[in-house]
Structure 1
Amino acid sequence: MSQSDATTPSGAFDSLLLKPALLDTLKSIGFHQMTPIQAQSLPAILNGGDVIGQGKTGSGKTAAFGLGLLNKLNVKRFRIQSLVLCPTRELADQVAAELRTLARGIHNIKILTLCGGVPMGPQIGSLEHGAHIIVGTPGRIIDHLDRGRLDLDNVDTLVLDEADRMLEMGFQRELDAIMQEVPRERQTLLFSATFPEQIQSLSEQFMIDPLMVKVEAHHDGETIEQHFYECGNNNDRMRALQLLLLKHQPESAVVFCNTKRETKDVAAKLTNAGFSVVALHGDLEQRDRDQMLLKFANKSASVMVATDVAARGLDIDALDMVVNYHMAYDTEVHIHRIGRTGRAGSKGAAHTLFNHEDGYKLSLLADALGREIDGEALPGEALLDTMPPQPRMVTIQIDGGKKQKVRPGDILGCLTGENGIEGSEVGKIKITDFRSYVAVDRKVLRKALNKIVKGKLKGKSYRAWELR
């Protein structure tokens, strides 16, 4: 395995041998300079080589493999030529959306997502019409393969995105089975935030002399402030968490726990204490997971309590604060967790709770950070007598979606029309097949609901209610 040092400066996209349509699209969306992971991996990817890319979420890896597979795609050959495997439906949707954006200048290209948690019927229909690129989750890909609906004989590029998480989630058997269904003569691209032994084993088994590209997962202390607090038992830990949330009053905070059980317990206790909380763990039904993510993304829930596995690959922007309720098992995971705050030039804060059993993990983290770690004083106990602030936004669920031809502009027009609310009081709008969701300022909730249910949305009456 050869090694590439990703500390060299990133270059311009037009220095690469990319199709003119791709270069034009990159310019139109404002992509001029490559990120380090793109600069180090794209020349090898475009040359047809196998590549392992290690970098945190937001490093630009999707564009790296996306440009590679789009550049060699033959649109006139209507066969599945690329397969991208992702651990979760959310990540698959994000990847497919980015690929579609990059492919805007390529006519008649078909990118299809095949994920669990959604009905099989529409996917079967789409597959019958064929596709160039499949983005999917391992379990659902296997479902279609087992039923003879998916032909991977023409795949020349296989991408494993967030490979470490797929292994954490127990997809080793599915990955092995899928590898047997794609041609041996292919390009394999593997991207991973961490690099455990299983990834090493996977790469040795299925890749040919891969180039290893590693973008160091360090974070500027000026962007992310790190604080550490020593806690005794679990009661002390919960009290510390509440004090930190009450003191800083973040609009969006993620609290990381190490197990599903802890996640449920912490979320329940915070809810009982009056905080606006969603919990993200592996036991959730897909619909519940989607709704919790929606509430958090549109700022109608302030705190997300999650395991590392559940939170990986989520596209969470403008995160004010991360709390490590328990220390991560290793330093790389800690760095990955806190990298979710302080993004895109904004300030962020990471607060880590530890006890006497965490000595070894603390010393490893101290070495990585190049500083001593000492416990700080927690905010004053008097804060526990105050009520947590409620999120500024609330989410309205509307009983109509794409199938009823509801569009975001229809909802915005309905809410801001005659005697309506201000445009500044409307937040994110999301439309699914049969439901729509819109965030509105909490103080205008009643008015917004009345506008929708009284027949002002496309001249029709739709049921609508607050999503709790």
Structure 2
Amino acid sequence: MENLSFKDFNLSNEVQKAIIDMGFEEATPIQSQSISYILDGNDLIGQAQTGTGKTCAFGIPAVEMINPEMEAIQVLVLCPTRELAIQSSEEVKNLLKYKEGVRILPVYGGQPIDRQIMALKKRPQIIIGTPGRIMDHLRRKTLKLENLKMIVLDEADEMLNMGFREDIDTILEKVPEARQTILFSATMSREILDITKKYQTSPIHIKIAHKELTVPRIEQYYLEVKETAKLEVLSRLIDTNDIKLALIFCNTKRKVDELKASLQSRGYSAEALHGDMRQEQRDKVMNMFRKGNIDILIATDVAARGIDVDDVEAVFNYDLPNDDEYYVHRIGRTGRAGRAGKAFTFISGREIYKLRDIQRYTKSNIKFIKPPSINDVEEKKMSNILKSLKEKLEDEPISQFVGQIEKFAEDINSEASEPGSSGDGFVTSIDIAAALLKLYIDQTGMQTNKVSEIDDASEFTSEGDMVRFFINIGSENKIQPKHIIESLVASSGVPGKLVGSIDIHDRYSFVEVPKEFAPEVLKSMKNYIIKGKRINIEKSNARKKSLHSFSPNRNGHSSKRKQGFSNNNKHFKKD
């Protein structure tokens, strides 16, 4: 089935306008196959991987079915992690841009519950949250679901892996029977099928095949770049890498046009390609790019489908693509016909998690690099000038200029030797060459302005950069890895799949979390209650692993590894 245009769905003008602003030119496969069924009120099982556009697949119908005049919760979306809840909330909020009177609220652990209670009093119609915090509000009766029309379980398999089955059952049993139930999951385990059988009515089952995509053998890099600094970083990368033919991808047609104007104002030979251009214009731009008459082509994903140019030296993801497959299609435009190629991806903030999903999906290594410094740019430009000078020396007659330089030096030195002269001394031909080089640099505007926010850009913590914590609870308290993971997710919002090794002893345990989450974990887990016991948590310097060290694998399950021996450890059976 071909991907549909959003114009093919019977959507309101407000939502259509919001989709255009978001830069989506066509629906992804899961959206193409799901939206109409959900709009018609069917229960649905959507089987698709992360990064395939599931949020809009349920978000668009959810926004369309909301009654703005009813100030009650009409849609509830359950997500496994705080990170996904925030991300989904932001995307649905974009869909609501032109919808009057519709409010949305993300609800998750790690945020003061009193603040959420105050926000709930403003009567949002859409709630997106984690099961643990939703349960908290249900117990406090601050969340009322008697008017609920739709409930969505997003990444249901991940929620089950993290131990949320009981919470899911409790929540689903508290919502009205006459509601629409939408479930998305990458896998269809027995437990997932159990939920669908118990809580859905004649669901439509849509399965999007997970394609095995071959990523070209090109050098792949990512940079942490603020939105306001992207143009400067892009310019520096082009200059320091001597890129002659480049393809730049943006997610919206508006961004394509803005970037074209900005690059042209900086003196680059750049043109745009997107769906709003007439076919005649698009053909003209493509011919110019193929012939090398322009150096940089800026395009949207849909417009770039016809691009087949072997000499593209680098691809830039100015915006992170909305779909994992788009990443592969984009970078596949370089490194063709046995040539070398490079791909640079700009990310900021939470996009690091989306990039990690892309990396897992494509099974490729995307290396972190810092933006080139101002010195890197100047050194590269100087190197190019000296290279050009060398070519002049080798290929062109310069004898006629040698005499002029000698005479010029002789005149200056003669003036300097006269009585009363203020000259500082004799000059050589090297002094004159240096002065000419400086004059050339000044006249050609080689110097660029330093942008401190680029040079000082902070690195993202790599997955291997972990902080180890001690918790005063262990196997004697009947603690299992899933209990620790659930507590971390509910209290601090750290994604379960990012939790590192878990070592459980008789009376205490160790757990590793990414460094970037360490402060929040330390703050939110203080005096947290696990299995009825109030815990103490502190940073640990211990490096020794116990016999039973658990590390969540990619699917969120706990795997047992032997890493030494301790007589004090009990044996655990896997869940």
Length-normalised TM-score, structure 2: 0.42
Matches within 5 A, 1:175-214: 175-214=168-207
Residues 428 and 317 (structure 1), Cα distance of their counterparts in 2 relative to 1, 3 Å cut? farther
Equivalent in 99, 104, 111 of residue 106 of structure 1: 99
CA contact (8 A) 1:225 1:349 kept: no
Is structure 2 residue 78 aligned with structure 1 residue 85?
A: yes
CA contact (8 A) 2:151 2:181 kept: yes
Where does residue 135 of structure 1 map in the other structure?
Answer: 128
Is structure 2 residue 43 aligned with structure 1 residue 50?
A: yes
Where does residue 97 of structure 1 map in the other structure?
Answer: 90
Q: Which deviations, in whole Å up to 9, do the C-alpha atoms of 1:163-185 show, x marking residues without a partner?
A: 00001111111001101111000
Distance apart, 1:319 and its partner CA:
5.5
Residues 197 and 225 (structure 1), Cα distance of their counterparts in 2 relative to 1, 3 Å cut? farther
Equivalent in 455, 458, 463 of residue 425 of structure 1: 455
Where does residue 392 of structure 1 map in the other structure?
Answer: 370
Matches within 5 A, 1:369-448: 392=370, 421-422=451-452, 424-425=454-455, 427=457
Distance apart, 1:129 and its partner CA:
1.9
Equivalent in 353, 361, 383 of residue 338 of structure 1: 361
CA contact (8 A) 2:30 2:46 kept: yes
**Partners of 1:128 and 1:110 in 2: how far apart?**
12
Residues 315 and 53 (structure 1), Cα distance of their counterparts in 2 relative to 1, 3 Å cut? farther
CA contact (8 A) 1:164 1:199 kept: yes
**Partners of 1:208 and 1:219 in 2: how far apart?**
33
**Partners of 2:368 and 2:202 in 1: how far apart?**
54
CA contact (8 A) 1:90 1:314 kept: no
Distance apart, 1:338 and its partner CA:
3.0
Where does residue 15 of structure 2 map in the other structure?
Answer: 22
**Partners of 1:427 and 1:75 in 2: how far apart?**
42
Distance apart, 1:428 and its partner CA:
7.9
Residues 80 and 164 (structure 1), Cα distance of their counterparts in 2 relative to 1, 3 Å cut? same
Secondary structure at 2:106's aligned position in 1? strand
CA contact (8 A) 2:89 2:128 kept: yes
Letter in 2 for 1:84: V
Where does residue 159 of structure 2 map in the other structure?
Answer: 166
CA contact (8 A) 2:109 2:130 kept: yes
Q: Percent identity, aligned pairs only?
A: 36
Equivalent in 58, 61, 74 of residue 67 of structure 2: 74
Secondary structure at 2:183's aligned position in 1? strand
Distance apart, 1:160 and its partner CA:
0.3
CA contact (8 A) 1:52 1:189 kept: yes
Where does residue 35 of structure 1 map in the other structure?
Answer: 28
Is structure 2 residue 353 aligned with structure 1 residue 316?
A: yes
Residues 14 and 126 (structure 1), Cα distance of their counterparts in 2 relative to 1, 3 Å cut? same
Distance apart, 1:218 and its partner CA:
1.3
**Partners of 1:189 and 1:52 in 2: how far apart?**
6
Letter in 1 for 2:80: P
**Partners of 1:249 and 1:24 in 2: how far apart?**
35
**Partners of 2:220 and 2:111 in 1: how far apart?**
36
**Partners of 1:53 and 1:94 in 2: how far apart?**
19
Where does residue 52 of structure 2 map in the other structure?
Answer: 59
CA contact (8 A) 2:105 2:126 kept: yes
Distance apart, 1:30 and its partner CA:
2.1
Distance apart, 1:349 and its partner CA:
4.5
CA contact (8 A) 2:131 2:168 kept: yes
Residues 108 and 426 (structure 1), Cα distance of their counterparts in 2 relative to 1, 3 Å cut? farther
Number of residue-to-residue matches in the alignment: 264
**Partners of 1:50 and 1:170 in 2: how far apart?**
24
Where does residue 286 of structure 1 map in the other structure?
Answer: none
Secondary structure at 1:167's aligned position in 2? helix
CA contact (8 A) 2:55 2:91 kept: yes
Q: Which deviations, in whole Å up to 9, do the C-alpha atoms of 1:371-396 show, x marking residues without a partner?
A: xxxxxxxxxxxxxxxxxx99637xxx
**Partners of 2:198 and 2:4 in 1: how far apart?**
32
Secondary structure at 1:83's aligned position in 2? strand
**Partners of 1:170 and 1:195 in 2: how far apart?**
16
CA contact (8 A) 1:299 1:392 kept: no
**Partners of 2:119 and 2:357 in 1: how far apart?**
40
Residues 320 and 191 (structure 1), Cα distance of their counterparts in 2 relative to 1, 3 Å cut? closer
Letter in 2 for 1:425: D
CA contact (8 A) 1:55 1:193 kept: yes
Distance apart, 1:420 and its partner CA:
7.2
After superposing on structure 2, the runs of 4+ consecutive aligned residues of structure 1 that deviate more than 2 Å are 223-226, 248-252, 297-300, 313-322, 389-393, 419-430
**Partners of 1:102 and 1:41 in 2: how far apart?**
17
**Partners of 1:321 and 1:127 in 2: how far apart?**
35
CA contact (8 A) 1:224 1:349 kept: no
> Alpha carbon RMSD of aligned pairs, Å?
3.4
Secondary structure at 1:316's aligned position in 2? helix
Letter in 1 for 2:353: I
**Partners of 2:220 and 2:19 in 1: how far apart?**
39
CA contact (8 A) 2:221 2:369 kept: no
Secondary structure at 1:44's aligned position in 2? helix
Runs of 5+ consecutive residues of structure 1 not aligned to the other structure? 1-7, 227-247, 253-296, 301-312, 323-336, 342-347, 351-388, 394-418, 431-468
Q: Which deviations, in whole Å up to 9, do the C-alpha atoms of 1:120-169 show, x marking residues without a partner?
A: 11001111221110000001000010011110001100000000000111
Letter in 2 for 1:19: S
Distance apart, 1:318 and its partner CA:
4.8
CA contact (8 A) 1:82 1:155 kept: yes
Q: Which deviations, in whole Å up to 9, do the C-alpha atoms of 1:15-49 show, x marking residues without a partner?
A: 11111111111122222311111111111001000
Matches within 5 A, 1:287-298: none
